[in-house]
Chains A and B, each alone.
Chain A
Amino acid sequence: MTEPDRCAVAISNVSKVFNQGKPNEVHAIEDISLSIGEGTFVSLIGPSGCGKSTLLRLIAALTHPTRGDVGVNDKSADQARLDRDYGMAFQTSGLFKWRSVAENVELPLQLMGWSKTDRKARAAEMLDLVKLDEFGDHYPHELSGGMRQRVAIARALSFRPSLLLMDEPFGALDEMTREHMQTELLDIWNKTGKTIVFVTHSIPEAVFLSQRVIVMSPRPGRIASDIRIDLGERSFETREASAFFEKVTEVREALRFEESQP
């Protein structure tokens, strides 16, 4: 295992307990350590409730660990959030219906106090990146689900964060749109060189997208396997290659092994 020089995300001995000391106490994550090299595409996969979304939110400093440390770009996760080191995309696009597509992409820039001209220019550039350059003046309700997710990705990347955190962003899309979006995302990743942490519960999606698939155990979430994926440049043929199926099987076996544990 050779890691790139710099760590984008460093998680050490992190545990997360919700409602500690109360009757509804939940051990979501137990003693996870994980480091993610800069520029890597990593997927987190596991059964429902394994804490993969919680892990993503710990990186985002939207929730804080009960024990352990989370570092992003060599600083605390909280500081990274305040420095806007990451962009985030969710399963629901979270677009604001009262803002046009371009205005949605401009939102983070507006919050950072950018001038209107700069905002407009960047939004146009970003919409070009996600191939929606003609839809800037449309409102979200006029777009399909896949297009809305592309806007959400454009928004997450608009201020050029080094890290992109994605929580099942394609989970609500139909299979064909989903595969198309995966290709688009890899294209964006290749062009921008971001570090991407991608939560999913689709095994082929994780294998197709990632350089590394982190398999998590059922609650309390622990890292069950850390699987390297080396399929070279992805194309339509990748999905039909035997090497792809071998990796899909390997991830599936890792998940099954974990679920059979008491």
Chain B
Amino acid sequence: MISRAFRGAAPATVVGLGGLLFWELSLLIINPEGFVLPAPSGIIAAFFDNFEEIWVASRNTGFIVITGLVGGVALGVLWALLVSRFRLANETLTPLAISLNAIPIIALAPIFNAWYGLLSPVSNQAIVVILVFFPVFINTTKGLTDVGATEIELMRSYAASSWQVARTVRIPNAMPFFFTALKIASSLAVIGAIVAEYFGGRQDALGPLIVQNAGLTRYTEAWAAVLAGSVMGIVLFVASGIFERVSMPWKPDAETIGA
């Protein structure tokens, strides 16, 4: 199992390290001063030089990401359950969800800041919730409703109640759809949180750290903060994958792609 995991990770590791090496070496030739695009070695050095600051900022941003992700996922799942269960909910809440998604959500950040206060993290959380909600809602709804005719007829032949159908067929059927959404949502949450932080919220977070450093032409430090955001995204993605495997032991390995 472990050796197989290593073998599975080997190609990605080679490509990743090769890419970093190419980046490092090509900068030596075309951009020796490293103004706009710093070398990977410089970014990693800056990451550790400023570790204290980046760690505090990451924790603050991480709080926004996690709370927003949990809130958005809960809202998306609840909304999907309602829509797939009640016709009236489907006719009213689905168009509402689609309209919500049609709003350029990031553009709301300054407005939310006005609502909740410029330095309040609530506006950032609200952005993440709305951003995460839609992919979770749309995928989970698909999973809850995309059940084969044979399966439904079978359940009717057992005179199963609609709650029994939901519990034994619809919800398990929606699991892979939900986890696909969770993987998309975890990356979206990090992006949403950092961009929202550009406009307001706590000042000791990754978003402001990137803006301030870039403003002072400290690009290497800005990139080090971006690196922290990337690590956060990867950790959440891998965590979603582990959660998926634990929740769905029936899934053949070959089908589990990505994490």
Contact = CB atoms under 8 A, between A and B. Distances in A.
Interface of A: 57, 60, 62, 81-82, 84, 86-88, 90, 92, 94, 96-100, 107-108, 110-112, 139, 141
Contact of A84 (B150, B158, B172): B158
B172 A88 contact: no
A111 B151 contact: no
Given A98-B172, A99-B250, A111-B168, A81 B157 contact: yes
A82 B160 CA distance: 9
A84 B159 contact: yes
Among B148, B157, B175, B252, chain A packs the most CB atoms within 10 A around the CB of B157
Given A81-B159, A97-B250, A90 B150 contact: yes
A90 B154 contact: yes
B165 to A, nearest CB: 9
B159 A62 contact: no
B248 interface: yes
Which 6 A-B pairs rank lowest in CB-CB distance, beginning with the nearest? A94-B150, A98-B172, A88-B157, A98-B250, A90-B150, A82-B159
Among B156, B164, B250, chain A packs the most CB atoms within 10 A around the CB of B250
B153 interface: yes
Contacts of A94: 148, 150-151, 154
Contacts of B164: 111
Interface of B: 148, 150-151, 153-154, 156-160, 164, 168-169, 172-173, 175, 248, 250, 252
Among A57, A60, A100, A108, chain B packs the most CB atoms within 10 A around the CB of A108
Contacts of A82: 159
Contacts of B153: 57, 60, 62, 88, 90
Contacts of B159: 81-82, 84
A62 B150 contact: no
Nearest to B160: A111
The B interface is mostly helix, strand or loop, or mixed, namely: helix
Given A98-B250, A141-B252, A107 B168 contact: yes
B250 A139 contact: yes
Contacts of B172: 96, 98-99
B226 to A, nearest CB: 39
7 contacts: A62-B156, A94-B151, A98-B173, A98-B175, A110-B168, A111-B158, A141-B250
Contact of A96 (B156, B160, B169): B169
A139 B151 CA distance: 17
Contacts of B157: 60, 62, 81, 86-88
B161 to A, nearest CB: 8
B114 to A, nearest CB: 47
Nearest to A94: B150
A199 B252 CA distance: 33
Contacts of A92: 148, 150
Contacts of B151: 94, 96
Nearest to A60: B157
A57 B197 CA distance: 59
Contacts of B173: 98
A64 B250 CA distance: 37
Contacts of A84: 158-159
B166 to A, nearest CB: 12
A248 B172 CA distance: 45
Contacts of A139: 250, 252
